[in-house]
Amino acid sequence: MTPDDRILAAELVVGLLTAEEAARAEQRRTDEPAFAAEVEWWETRLAPLLDRYREVTPPPYIAARIEALLDVPHVAPRAARLPWRSLSLGAAVGALAALIAAWLLTPATVTTPVPPVSAPTAPARLLIAQLAWTDKATAPAPVAVVDPASGALRLTRGVDTPAGRVGELWRIPVGGKPVSLGLLPRDAAPAIRVAQANLPATGSTLAISIERRGGSPTGQPTGPVVAAGVVERL
């Protein structure tokens, strides 16, 4: 597989191709086992992020924000579409991930986009943790996205809890004890605010336990841990 083939497979999964390009890519997926395997890899990697995502048209300033995140020279858009193939493979993959994270961190109630900044400063890179269920749950596990600048943390899906119980999110430093980040609202995409002192670091773990109403009374998980994942930086 060439770098362009890998990027094409990622674009097909994320939905960045035109109808004609998508049709050609789907034909390659049928005819070429190697390309089909590449598409399947991207689906496994990215599908959990899109599980609860409502389809919207990205505002025009998203491209400028992605370029700021990547710290690459400005590349003018072509036909209202960011030219992913003009970037290196690593930069293109990073751009795809940054775009998904930007959508996840945009509240569904926002209808008026924030005007673009003419000369944006390089923002703090987002943190992401792909959680995994500790049991054999069939639903996709949640993905946590953290914006270090604002302390906003959002999960792509909620956690089912029994009556009288609540999900509690924990930050577990490497070699340290769990620190509570707060209780999770019982909705499809829980969002909480994390104090700067409590922001998870790369390599630490985010975990969700099921606690009694009001949260753990001991400051440590007392109920079963149902999901956990390591924090990475986009």
CA atoms of 124 and 51, how far apart (whole Å): 26
The residues, ordered by sequence, that sit 6+ positions from 180 with a Cβ below 8 Å of its Cβ are: 168, 169, 170, 171, 215, 216, 219
Average pLDDT over residues 31-58: 74
Q: Widest CA span of the chain, in angstroms?
A: 58
How far are the Cα atoms of 36, 52, 146 from residue 193, in angstroms, in the given order? Answer: 40, 20, 9
On whether the CB atoms of residues 201 and 148 are closer than 8 A, the answer is no
Written as six digits, the tokens of 14 are 């994320």
On whether the CB atoms of residues 60 and 76 are closer than 8 A, the answer is no
Q: Detail the DSSP E strand segments found in 111-187.
A: 127-130, 132-133, 143-147, 152-155, 165-172, 179-183
Question: What confidence score (pLDDT) does residue 13 get?
Answer: 79
Looking at the predicted structure, is the pLDDT value of residue 74 above 60? no
Q: What single letter denotes the amino acid at residue 234?
A: L
Written as six digits, the tokens of 218 are 């001991």
CA atoms of 143 and 131, how far apart (whole Å): 6
Question: What are the sequence ranges of the domains in the chain?
Answer: 3-104, 127-233
Average pLDDT over residues 8-23: 80
Instruction: Compute the half-sphere exposure of residue 75: CA atoms within 13 Å on the CB side of its CA.
Output: 20
Segment 161-198, tens digit of pLDDT:
888 899 999 999 998 999 999 998 776 567 888 888 88
On whether the CB atoms of residues 222 and 209 are closer than 8 A, the answer is yes
Task: Find the range with the poorest average confidence among 36-45, 119-128, 166-175, 184-193.
Answer: 119-128
On whether the CB atoms of residues 133 and 93 are closer than 8 A, the answer is no
How far are the Cα atoms of 64, 166, 171 from residue 179, in angstroms, in the given order? Answer: 36, 16, 5
CA atoms of 17 and 101, how far apart (whole Å): 19
Q: Is the pTM of this model over 0.75?
A: no
CA atoms of 84 and 24, how far apart (whole Å): 18
Fold for 127-233, please state it.
Answer: Immunoglobulin-like (2.60.40)
Question: What confidence score (pLDDT) does residue 77 get?
Answer: 43
